[in-house]
Amino acid sequence: MLSRKDIIEINKDFSNGRIVNESNLDFAVKTSARSKNWLRSAAVFTRAILIDHVFEDGNKRTAAAVIMLLMEMNKIVFDPDIVSKVIVKLLKKNITSVREIERCIKDAVR
């Protein structure tokens, strides 16, 4: 699965990698490491990054990149355009439940 360092490096592709909410990132990494389900991991990371604003900047792009990376790692065929729409939907509808986030991410699977 993804480590704290991996997530920071992904954010550096879009911003400076500066963390403003360390505890939520650490919680997401630990929770993801215990899960064998890629979808649960994607939802946990998405919630931490997108909803809890782990980084100073680039949270939306980082969350989308993490979702797509987890899908690629698990050989899941997905539509990148729908992943972007999922991010927007989560924010517009203020979806914070990990289970709801999972359902939304599933929409991007082909």
CB-based contact 20:56 (threshold 8 Å) = yes
Name, in order, each residue with C-beta under 8 angstroms of 3's C-beta and a sequence gap of 6 or more: 29
- Residue 93: give the domain boundaries: 4-106
pLDDT of residue 3: 96
Instruction: Find the length of the chain.
Output: 110
pLDDT of residue 71: 97
| Residue 49 per-residue DSSP state | I
CATH of the domain at 50: 1.20.120.1870
pLDDT of residue 7: 98
Helix (H, G, I), strand (E, B) or coil at 95: coil
Task: Give the amino acid at 84.
Answer: S
Residue range 9-52, pLDDT digits in tens: 999 999 999 999 999 999 999 999 999 999 999 999 999 999 99
pLDDT of residue 64: 98
Residue range 54-94, pLDDT digits in tens: 999 999 999 999 999 999 999 999 999 999 999 999 999 99
106-110 mean pLDDT: 92
Name, in order, each residue with C-beta under 8 angstroms of 109's C-beta and a sequence gap of 6 or more: 71, 76, 77, 78
CB-based contact 1:33 (threshold 8 Å) = yes
pLDDT of residue 110: 86
Count of structural domains within the chain: 1
pTM assigned to the model? 0.95
pLDDT of residue 1: 84
